[in-house]
Amino acid sequence: MQVQKKHKLRQLRRWRIRRKLSGTAQRPRMSVRFTGENIYVQFIDDQRGMTLASTSTRDKATPSKETLAANVESAKKVGTLAATAAKGKGISAVIFDRNGARYHGKVKALADAAREAGLQF
């Protein structure tokens, strides 16, 4: 399959998911994005168009960020860090936005770690 076709199909999946999901101040959208090297998590209030909290493998506050990558072990650590960042902002319940990725492997590990740290999906 051509790269352009893969990107187009992923974009269509994203749009299809985003039509159904919308975050509020009480229950923001937890958007997860995996690149080839990093993991990014944002808590977004779509009504006001604001990011309430965020964390990633590149964040300066992330401990041992040199050893983190876009793998399952790092996804577990980032999921825990994301949950603590959300708890610090007073967020306890979220809507999970997997951003077009399939729910297995890294995405599932991140979601499970965030649930164990106290977030409700």
Residue 13 main-chain phi, psi, to 5 deg = -65, -45
What's domain 3-116's architecture?
Answer: 2-Layer Sandwich (3.30)
pLDDT on residue 1 = 79
- Mean pLDDT of each 10-residue bin along the chain, 121 residues long: 90 90 90 93 93 91 83 93 94 91 92 95 87
